[in-house]
Amino acid sequence: MFGGMPAKKAEHFWPSAKRLLGLLKPEAMGIYAVVALVLVSVVLNVIAPKILGQAMDVIFGGVVGKQLPAGASKDGFVEGLRQQGQDNFADMVSRMELVPGTGINFAKLSVLIAIVLLMYFVANIFLWLQGYVLNRIVMKVIRRLRDDTEKKLNRLPLNYFDTRQRGDVLSRVTNDVDNVQQALQQAFAQLISSLLTVIGIVIMMFIVSWQLALIALIALPLSGVAAGLIGSRSQKLFSAQWKNTGALNGQIEESFSGHDLVRVFGRDADMLERFEERNEALYKASFGAQFVSGMIFPVMQFVSYLSYVGIAVVGGLRVASGSMSLGDATAFIQYSREFTQPLGQMAGMANMLQSGVASSERVF
C-alpha cells in the first residue's frame, strides 16, 4: 500500500481509479443491488414527465373544448379550420383529446396526477434504500482498507520510516483514507445515479421527439470535451494538494516531537520559515484544484443553456405547426432541464472524485 510510489503517479487518473474500484469487488452483490435500486428509481423519475405531459394535454384540451359548441363534432371543427386556411391550428386541435362543449376532465386529470405523485414517492423510497445499502458497502470497504493499511505498516522495514516524515505517513493513514471514504460515499453513488438518469432521459427524449433530442445531444460532446480538458488539469493540482498536505503534517509532527531540540539549537526561525513555505504551497495547490475543478460546472451549464434555448424555439414552432402536442413539448422541456441536471451533478462530483483518486494513490 505505501510501497514508496512517487507522488506523480497520482496524476494518472484512470489506473488509480481502476484500482480504487477494485476495492469494491468483494461487495459485488451489494453493488448489483445498488444499481438495481437506482435503476428502478431512475425509470420512475424519467417516465413521470411524460405522464405530466398527458395531464397538460387534458387541461389544454378541456380549455379548447369548452369554447366549442356542445354537440359539435371534433372532426367537423377541424375540417372547418382547414377550409378557413388555418391548417396549423387544425393540426394542433386534431392532436388534442377534447369533447366540444365540455371542459377539463378532472377525473382523468386526478388519476394522472395521482400516478405521477406515486411514482415520485416510490422513486425516492428506492433512492433512500440505495443510499442505505451503499453506505454499508463503503463502510465495509474502508474497514478492510484500514486493516490492510495497519498490517502493511507492521510489515514495513524500519528504514521506510527513517526515510519518511512520520506526519506524512500519518496523513496517509488518516486524511487520505478518510478522503477515499468520502469519495466512495458521495461521488460513486452520484455517478451511478447520474449516468443511469442521463441514459433514461435520452431514451425518453427520442421517444417524444427525435428532432429535439438531436438538438439536446449537441451539447453532450461539447460538455464532455470541456470537462475532460479541465479535469486533466485539476487532477494534477489535487495530487499536489494531498502531497503538500502530507508534507505539512510531517513538518508539524517534527516541530512538536523535536520541540526541545529546535529550541536548544536555535532553529525556531528555520522551522517557521519551512512551515510557511509548505503552508503556502498547500494553499496554492488547494486553491488551484478547487478553482479549476469548479470551472467544470459553469462551463457545462452554459453549453446546456444554449441547447435549452434551441429546444424551446424549435419546440414552440413544432407546437404552433401542429406537429407536436403541447403536452409533449412541456415534457420535452422538462427532460431537457433534467438532462442537464445529472450532467451538472457529475461535473460537481468531479473534484471530489479526483481528490479521492489522488488520495487512493498515496494510500496504495
**Which cell numbers hold the place of 9?**
503517479
pLDDT band at 123 (very low <50, low <70, confident <90, very high): very high
| The pLDDT value given to residue 339 | 81
Greater confidence (84 vs 45) lies with 45
What percent of the chain stands above pLDDT 90?
13
| The pLDDT value given to residue 121 | 96
Interatomic CA distance for residues 149 and 310, integer angstroms: 53
Confirm if 311 and 249 have CB atoms less than 8 A apart. Answer: no
Does pLDDT of 9 surpass 50?
no
User: Considering just the CA atoms, what is the radius of gyration of the chain in Å?
Assistant: 29
Helices (H), the chain: 13-22, 28-66, 74-83, 87-94, 106-155, 158-162, 166-171, 177-182, 189-208, 210-257, 259-264, 268-294, 296-320, 326-363
Burial class of residue 186, CB neighbours in 10 A (0-12, 13-18, 19+): middle
What percent of the chain stands above pLDDT 70?
81
For residue 118, how many other CB atoms are within 10 A of its CB? 12
| The pLDDT value given to residue 261 | 63
- The string of pLDDT tens digits covering residues 309-332 is 888 888 888 887 777 888 888 888
Q: Which CATH number fits domain 7-39+120-363: 1.10.3720.10, 3.20.20.70, 1.20.1560.10, 1.10.540.10?
A: 1.20.1560.10
Global pTM reads 0.69
pLDDT band at 256 (very low <50, low <70, confident <90, very high): low
Interatomic CA distance for residues 196 and 106, integer angstroms: 34
Does pLDDT of 198 surpass 80?
yes
Interatomic CA distance for residues 364 and 285, integer angstroms: 22
Match 520559515 to its residue by C-alpha cell.
273
- Top mean-pLDDT range of 31-35, 255-259, 334-338: 31-35
Confirm if 188 and 30 have CB atoms less than 8 A apart. Answer: no
- State mean pLDDT over 59-87: 74
Interatomic CA distance for residues 176 and 171, integer angstroms: 6
Instruction: Write down the mean pLDDT value for the chain.
Output: 78
pLDDT band at 267 (very low <50, low <70, confident <90, very high): low
Interatomic CA distance for residues 242 and 224, integer angstroms: 26
- State mean pLDDT over 37-47: 93
Q: C-alpha 7: how far from its chain's center?
A: 28
Does pLDDT of 27 surpass 50?
yes
- The string of pLDDT tens digits covering residues 78-117 is 777 777 777 776 777 777 777 777 778 888 999 999 999 9
For residue 309, how many other CB atoms are within 10 A of its CB? 11
